[in-house]
Each structure stands twice: as structure tokens, then as C-alpha cells.
Amino acid sequence: MIDLGDVAARLGAAIPLIVGRDLFDAGALTLAIDGALLGVGPSGGMAPGRPMPLTARRGIETLPLTIEGIAAHADFDLGNGGTVLIGAAFAARHGLLRDRATGTIPGGGIGGGATQTTFIVRSLDLAGVRFADVPVAVDASPTANDANIGVRLLRRFGIVTDFPARRVWLDAL
């Protein structure tokens, strides 16, 4: 059990529950974020959309994408209801922050709040879809991945997850 009051207060909305990783590890699931749908996924290892490989990193599933043409891995984070995050180390390595900061925003999740620097990513390619001029925030935590995509981008796809098979399908809506 975890008290979600702190996170709810920062988000300004109630959080009645979190669907845990155990459900995703049990088999294929179909998700439609804006349709508020969570169901059993199709059997047989096929689903509509583009199949994407999943790679585990620190207990989080990641998937490939490109950020301004640079190959990267992003946390597949259905718990991130906020801004797309870019890891500080990734941003520094590729000069993404150079003269591009647009401000700061409050951020953070279950681990606590943080102030995050914001900037605009000129292009982000995910599952064959190009997103232009994407507002992002810098994740300065030492364990940050290259990126963390959440529901702001994922809501634009029909999603089938199959964590046991190490795959997710993203079907552009």
C-alpha cells in the first residue's frame, strides 16, 4: 500500500488506484487511454499497429525512439501523466539544452517533487509517427533514462502490451 495523497495534491486530481506491474506481467493487455479502456489483449502474438521491442532497465520497460534524429530508449511509463521527460545526461551528451531552456515547471512522482527545466524538442519519432516541437522537461535524477514518455504521447496510439513476450504494439490513432 502507498499513500498517493502527495502525488494527487501535486497533480491537482484524485488518484483512486494504480494498476500494478503484476497485471502487465500476466499477459497481453489492450489499452485505449482516452477511451478509458483496459482489457485482455489479443492472443497469438499479433496486434494492430507497429510492434516495438521492450527492453527492461531498472525494472521499467523501455522502447526505442529517436529524439531529433538521435537513437534513444524511453521508459514506457503509463504513470507519467505529465510532460515528456528527457534525461539530463542524454540532453548534455547531445547538446540538446544549449541555449534552449524555456523555463521551469514543478514535476516529480511517487519519489517526491522536483523543479524541472523545460525546452522544446524539434522532433521525436515513435512507432513511425513524428511529433514536432514537443515540450519536454529535464529529468535530473541520476537514474534517468534517455527519455520517459507517458500518456501525453501514448494517448495518440491504440496500445497492446505483452510484457512476457517483450513487445508492445503502437497503432497511431
Phi/psi of residue 98, nearest 5 degrees: -55, 110
pLDDT at 114 over 80: no
Domain at 5-172: CATH architecture = Beta Barrel (2.40)
Report the range of poorest mean pLDDT among 13-17, 43-47, 64-68, 84-88.
13-17
159: β partners: 31, 170
| pLDDT, average across residues 52-81 | 93
Using pLDDT thresholds of 50, 70 and 90, give the confidence band for residue 38.
confident
pTM for the model stands at: 0.82
Q: Which three cell numbers stand for residue 82?
A: 505529465
Using pLDDT thresholds of 50, 70 and 90, give the confidence band for residue 37.
confident
Using pLDDT thresholds of 50, 70 and 90, give the confidence band for residue 115.
confident
Rounded distance between C-alpha atoms, residue 120 and residue 125, angstroms: 14
Domain boundaries of the chain, sorted by first residue:
5-172
Report the amino acid identity of residue 170. Answer: L
Torsion of CA 69, 129, 146, 68, to 10 degrees: 20
Report the amino acid identity of residue 93. Answer: R
Using pLDDT thresholds of 50, 70 and 90, give the confidence band for residue 34.
confident
How far, rounded to the nearest angstrom, does the alpha carbon of residue 152 sit from its chain's CA centroid?
8
- Residue 12 buriedness (CB in 10 A; 0-12 / 13-18 / 19+): exposed
pLDDT at 99: 84
Computed over every residue of the chain, the mean pLDDT equals 85
